[in-house]
Structure 1
Amino acid sequence: MSGRRVAVTGIGVLAPGGIGTGAFWNLLSEGRTATRGITFFDPSAFRSRVAAEIDFDPEEHGLSPQEIRRMDRAAQLAVVAAREAVTDSALDLGAFAPHRIGVTVGSAVGATMGLDEEYRVVSDGGRLESVDHTYAVPHLYNYLVPSSFAAEVAWAVGAEGPSTVVSTGCTSGIDSVGYAAELIREGSADVVVAGSSDAPISPITMACFDAIKATTPRHDDPVHASRPFDATRNGFVLGEGAAVFVLEELSSAQRRDAHIYAEIAGYATRSNAYHMTGLRPDGVEMAEAINVALDEARLNPEDIDYINAHGSGTQQNDRHETAAFKRSLKDHAYRTPVSSIKSMVGHSLGAIGSIEIAASALAMEHHVVPPTANLHTPDPECDLDYVPLTAREWTTDAVLTVGSGFGGFQSAMVLARPERSPA
C-alpha cells in the first residue's frame, strides 16, 4: 500500500423522486417517499405491483438519439450520473494523463430492461419457440455484457485507465466504490469515476422476486409499502437508479482546494458461505466486515456518528443487521442513529449501495440524518434508534454504510471527514 488517501469530490445521483443530487437530498431530508404503482408495464399478473421508478427522459439529460439506441436504461443512468459527478467535482480531467483515470461501475443485473424488451420482440411476445434474431436491435451484444456499462462511462469521461464492472449482487454499489478507492491507494490511478447503476423494473425481475416472496404485496398502499424495521414489513420495494462519484487522491484534492465531501476511510467485504438468500440471525459476517472497515479507518466503534443501514424491509435482513450492529459497535450501537433510505427510494439492487454512499456523504455535508420513512410500529427485535419518519439534525463526522446481498455478500464502508480519520 502506498499510503495514499482517497477523497470524494464529486457526486451525481439519479434516484426515484427527482433527478440530480439536490433533488435526491431534498427527498431524503424531507422524509418523502417515491414508491408508487408500477407504470413501466402492466403489473396486474404479479404478486408485487409497486416500485420506485424514475421519471427520466434521456434526451432531456443530454443523451443523443444514437446513445439512447445503443445503451440500455441502466447504462444511460450511469452516464448521466457520471457527467453530473465530474461537473460537481470541478476537476479538469484533461489535466490528467488518460491512463491515470479509471472507471468502476457496479451492477447486479446488468441490462435487464433491454434484454427483457428484446426477447419480447424477437419471440413475438413469447409466441415463437425459435426466436427471430433479425428483429433485434443492432447493439444487442451491449445488453448482454455488463462490461458495456464501464465502457460507456469511460468514453463519456475520457478514461483510459483501469475500467471494471463489479457485480456482487446488492453489494455491488459499495464494492465498486471500495475497489475504486483501492486503485487510488495502490497507485494504479489518480482519479476514478466510480459508482453503480441498475434499472431492473421489468417483468422478468418482478417474476423472480415474486417467486421467492421477497418483494412486498402491499400494492394497495404503494406510498407506504417500504417499511424497514417496522413490525408490519413484508418485503422490499424494487427500485432503480444510479450514483457515481469522482474519487481522487486526498492531498491532490486539497492542493486544488476542491470541495471534499468525505474521505473513504475504510472498506471491507465478507461472504457468509451459507445460503443463496438466507442470513444467519447473529449477523457475524456483516459484523466482521464492519470491524475490518473500522480497523482500516483507524476508528473506534464510538467514533461512528450515524449508520446508513441496508434496511431492505424483509423480516430476516432487518434483524440480521440489528444483530450485526450490536456485535460490532457493542453498546455504542444503542447510542447511534440508524436509518434506511430504501423506505423512500426503494431497493435498486446493485445501484443502491452507491446511492446510500451518496446519502451518507450528504448527511455529513448537512449534519442531518435522513429518516426511516413509514416506521410507525417498531419491531421489538429491531430495538436500535432507527430515526422514524422525520430527519434529525445530528453531527455526522464519521458514517458507516453497509450492504447485504444474495449469495451471502456483506460489505461495509466508513466515510469520515479527513481531519477525523487518522488513516
Structure 2
Amino acid sequence: MSGRRRTVITGIGVLAPGGDGTEAFWDLMTSGRTATRRIAAFDPSEFRSQVAGEVDFDAAAHGLSHRETRRLDRASQFALVTAREALADSGLDLDAADPARTGVSVGTAIGAATSLEREYLVLSDTGRNWLVDHAYASPHLFDYFTPATIATEVGWDMRAEGPVNTVSTGCTSGIDAVGNAHQLISEGSADVVFAGATEAAITPLAVACFDAIKATTPRNDDAATAARPFDATRNGFVIAEGAAMFVLEELEHARRRGAKIYGEIAGYANRCNGYHMTGLSPKGREMAEAIGAAMDEGRVERDGLDYINAHGSGTRQNDLHETGAFKRALGEHAYTTPVSSIKSMIGHSLGAIGSIEIAACALAIEHGVIPPTANLHEKDPECDLDYVPVTAREARVDTALTVGSGFGGFQSAMVVRRLQGATR
C-alpha cells in the first residue's frame, strides 16, 4: 500500500426514515425496528404500492433559513443538512482547509423530483393545460432541472473550490459518488472531499413509475413489514428517501490534524451488465466482477470479509442475483460471511441508499454490531446464506463490503476497512 494516497472517513451525517441524524439512524439499525409506513406525503389510495420510508424532516430545526427552504429542493436540503452534520462530526476547520484542495461528490438518481413535479402542477394548472404557462414558473426552476446544482449548493456551503460534481447512476449513485471521491483523493486531485448522496423520491410521479413495472411491494395492509429482503414472501421493494454525506480525507491529511477515523475506503469498482435496462442476469457475473475488483484493490482475500451489506432490495430477481454473485465472488466463504439488508428497516431510497449503506458499514466497524435483515422469517431455499435475520449481531468487523445494483445494469462494490491502529 506504500506510495498510494489512501482515503479515510472522518465525518458522517445521515438522514433516514425513523430517525433524525446519525445517532438515531444507528439506534434504529441495531434495534431491528422498521420505519416503513403508509405514505403520508400525499394520498396514495390510487396507487398499487402505498408504502414508503419517509423522513420526518423539519428544515428550520436543522438550521435552514426561510430563504433556503423556499429556494432549495427537498433533496438539496437533505444534502446540506447531512454535509453539515458530517463536517461537525469530523472536527474539520474550514478556515484552515485549502479551498482549492477541497471537493464535492454528490450522488442522486432523480434529482429535484419533488420540486419539478410541484412546478409542473402549478404551470399546467394541475395537468389541465397541455401548454403550460411560464408566467407561473418559479425563478429557481432551472436549478430543479439540473441535478448538478445539488453538488453546487454543498460546494458553496463547504467553501469547496476543487473538483465539484454530481454522479447519477441510478440506484448505485450513492456508492459511485463516494467511489468517485475516493478516486479524486487517490489520484491527488483533492485532499478533502464532501461525498455522499441524497434523494427525495416520495412523489406521485415516482411512485407511479415503479407501480407501472411492479417493482414496489403491494403489501399495503402491513406497511411495517412490507420490505422483506431474502424472505420467501418478498414481493418488491419499499420506495424511500434520505441522505448520507461523509467527510473523506487523504490519510496523512487526517493524521496531521489529529482527526478521528471511522475507517478506510480500501477498494471500489463498478461494472455495467449490458444485459437489460431493469433485468438482472441470474448468476450475478457482473456484480461478482465488481466485488472481485474492489477486493483486489483493497488486497482483501476471499476469507477476509467480516460483513457484507447487501443491496437486498426485496425483489425476487435481485435477491437471487445477489446471492449468486456472492457465491461466485467468494466461493465457499460466502456461506460463512454474515450478510444483511438494511432496506428491510428503512426502505430503498434509490440513489441515496448506497451512501446510507456505507454509513452502516462504517458504524458496524465502529461499534462491533452487524445490523439485521428485519422481517426475514420464512427462508427462501434459493437464498441460502447467513442473512442475519431479525436481530442485530455483536461481532468484530474489521472489513466490510457493500454492494449495489441500479437500473441500466449498474453494479458497484466498495470495501470499507478498519484502519490499523486507529481508535475513536
Measured against the shorter chain, the TM-score band is over 0.9
Separation in 2, partners of 1:405, 1:113: 21
Q: Partner of 2:221: helix, strand, or coil? A: coil
Q: Partner of 2:265: helix, strand, or coil? A: strand
Other-structure match for 1:186: 187
CA drift at 1:174: 0.2
Contact 1:401/1:412, CA 8 A, preserved across alignment: yes
Separation in 1, partners of 2:244, 2:201: 15
Separation in 1, partners of 2:91, 2:183: 23
CA drift at 1:254: 2.1
Q: Partner of 2:303: helix, strand, or coil? A: helix
Other-structure match for 2:405: 404
Superposed counterparts of 1:113-128, under 5 Å: 113-128=114-129
Matched, 1:300 2:326: no
CA drift at 1:255: 2.8
CA drift at 1:2: 6.0
State the AA in 2 paired with 1:215.
T
With structure 2 as the length reference, what TM-score do the two structures score?
0.98
State the AA in 1 paired with 2:111.
G
Q: Partner of 1:192: helix, strand, or coil? A: strand
Other-structure match for 1:89: 90
Contact 1:397/1:420, CA 8 A, preserved across alignment: no
Matched, 1:69 2:70: yes
CA drift at 1:321: 0.3
Superposed counterparts of 1:247-326, under 5 Å: 247-326=248-327
Separation in 1, partners of 2:311, 2:172: 9
CA drift at 1:119: 0.6
Superposed counterparts of 1:95-244, under 5 Å: 95-244=96-245
State the AA in 2 paired with 1:190.
D
Separation in 2, partners of 1:240, 1:420: 36
CA drift at 1:420: 8.9
Other-structure match for 1:25: 26
CA drift at 1:133: 1.6
Please list the CA deviations of residues 248-286 of structure 1 after superposition, one character each: whole Å capped at 9, or x if unmatched: 011221232211101000000000000000000010000
Please list the CA deviations of residues 321-362 of structure 1 after superposition, one character each: whole Å capped at 9, or x if unmatched: 000000001111100110000000100000000000000100
Matched, 1:10 2:11: yes
Separation in 2, partners of 1:272, 1:365: 34
CA drift at 1:373: 0.4
Unaligned runs of 5+ in 1: none
Separation in 1, partners of 2:418, 2:144: 39
State the AA in 1 paired with 2:44.
P
Separation in 2, partners of 1:2, 1:37: 52
Separation in 2, partners of 1:118, 1:90: 39
State the AA in 2 paired with 1:54.
V
Superposed counterparts of 1:338-353, under 5 Å: 338-353=339-354
CA drift at 1:367: 0.6
Separation in 2, partners of 1:306, 1:5: 22
Sequence identity (%): 67
State the AA in 2 paired with 1:255.
R
Other-structure match for 1:336: 337
CA drift at 1:94: 1.7
Separation in 1, partners of 2:162, 2:257: 22
Q: Partner of 2:118: helix, strand, or coil? A: helix
Q: Partner of 1:223: helix, strand, or coil? A: helix
CA drift at 1:160: 0.7
Other-structure match for 1:394: 395
Q: Partner of 2:197: helix, strand, or coil? A: strand
Unaligned runs of 5+ in 2: none
Please list the CA deviations of residues 29-67 of structure 1 after superposition, one character each: whole Å capped at 9, or x if unmatched: 000100000011111110000000000011110111111
CA drift at 1:138: 1.1
Other-structure match for 1:355: 356
Separation in 1, partners of 2:20, 2:150: 20
Q: Partner of 1:415: helix, strand, or coil? A: strand
Separation in 2, partners of 1:83, 1:197: 14
CA drift at 1:419: 2.1
Q: Partner of 2:67: helix, strand, or coil? A: helix
Other-structure match for 2:79: 78
Q: Point out 4+ residue stretches in structure 1 off by more than 6 angstroms.
A: none
Separation in 1, partners of 2:94, 2:15: 22
Closer, same or farther in 2 for the Cα pair 1:182/1:202, shift >3 Å? same
Give the count of matched residue pairs: 421
Other-structure match for 2:380: 379
Q: Partner of 1:238: helix, strand, or coil? A: coil
Separation in 2, partners of 1:59, 1:159: 24
Separation in 1, partners of 2:333, 2:96: 45
Q: Partner of 1:350: helix, strand, or coil? A: helix
Separation in 2, partners of 1:161, 1:193: 11
Separation in 1, partners of 2:150, 2:78: 10
Separation in 2, partners of 1:174, 1:331: 26
Give the RMSD, CA atoms, in angstroms.
1.1
State the AA in 1 paired with 2:162.
G
